Amino acid sequence: MPELTHHVVDANGIRVHVVEQGSGPLVILLHGFPECWYSWRHQLTMLAQAGFRAIAPDLRGYGRSDCPPDGGKYTILDYIGDMVGLIDTLGVDQAVIAGHDFGATIAWQAALMRPDKFRAVIGLSAPFRPRGFGTSVLPTTLMPQNDKAVYYQLYLATPQAEIGMEQNRRQTLRSLFYQMSGEASQAASATSADLGPGMIPRSGAALLESPPLPGWITSAELEVYIEEFTRSGFRGPLSWYRNIDRSWELLEMTLGAEVTVPALYVTGDRDFVAAANREFIPLQAKFVPKLRRPLILPGCGHWTQQERATDVSAAMIDFLQQL
């Protein structure tokens, strides 16, 4: 088996750090928040063993990739442009694109807009939604909030979120990995249920806890994330959430369009993102006619490819081999 290799490539006017393994048809793996290429560590090896060339980039603003100083350079079209540029730089014609969390949103829209470049798509956690929420008003105006809590995407767009996360990166990452995991305690789950799917206290108190590590991540693996966010900080990663409405505006040309390439959707039955978007999961087939039957993993929380590495890799490989 070839080893993991790290290198930096020029794509769409920025430098993108990528990690790859294997040879064969190209599969690009997009991480979510707060992650980096490392969230695909299990799939890189398993896909390579199955005869694929798997590449996991650090998305712009993350890890060892460039972090543009202009906060407006983190729209969905910027990220899609990075992936198109990556394919061109690698000298290949097409790739399958897979994504988790907001990486899935990028993957879905990339496949919709550029089926010539992305011949199939795999979305984890976040389902396909036509032009954001599929409505005629800005997405942030539809996100729930009250005196005690606010939808997580609204919170992550605030200066308060960045300040709080930077104060103690270890505690921030440990809290998020546990609280969004399928292993979260009954007390934490009950609190989340009281607030509603995707809701967090306005105080950001959820990031101030020091829970145990869930079973799917070791202390050494957590250290990798801490090192990467010490390198990048949180400004770039949080800039995605500060551009949600702008990204929605830029997708106006996709109104009524379908994702025409083969597609796979995988999520956990304890994933708060899936719960917050439950109405869109059964509607996906209307907009993604080549969508395979969704795979819902019991007991799995938000960190799909890490919590259920073997199941997710097997589903991806089965899908890829049938293309």
Q: Which of 266, 276, 268 is nearest to 317 (CA)?
A: 266
User: Which of 101, 116, 194, 269 is labelled catalytic?
Assistant: 101
**Residue 4: what pLDDT?**
95
**Residue 191: what pLDDT?**
44
The parts of the chain modelled with pLDDT lower than 50 are 185-193
**Residue 131: what pLDDT?**
78
Query: Is 17 assigned a catalytic role?
Result: no
Query: Is 101 assigned a catalytic role?
Result: yes
User: Using one digit for the tens of pLDDT, what is the confidence trace for 198-230?
Assistant: 888 887 666 666 788 999 999 999 999 999 999
DSSP assignments along 26-59, one per residue = EEEEE--TT--GGGGHHHHHHHHHTT-EEEEEPP
User: What three-state secondary structure class fits 213?
Assistant: coil
**Residue 130: what pLDDT?**
85
**Residue 308: what pLDDT?**
98
Query: Rounded distance, CA 20 to CA 92, Å?
Result: 15
pTM for this entry: 0.95
Q: Which of 115, 108, 145 is nearest to 130 (CA)?
A: 108
CA angle 121, 125, 131 (to 5 degrees): 65
**Residue 200: what pLDDT?**
85
Q: Which of 161, 178, 172 is nearest to 230 (CA)?
A: 172
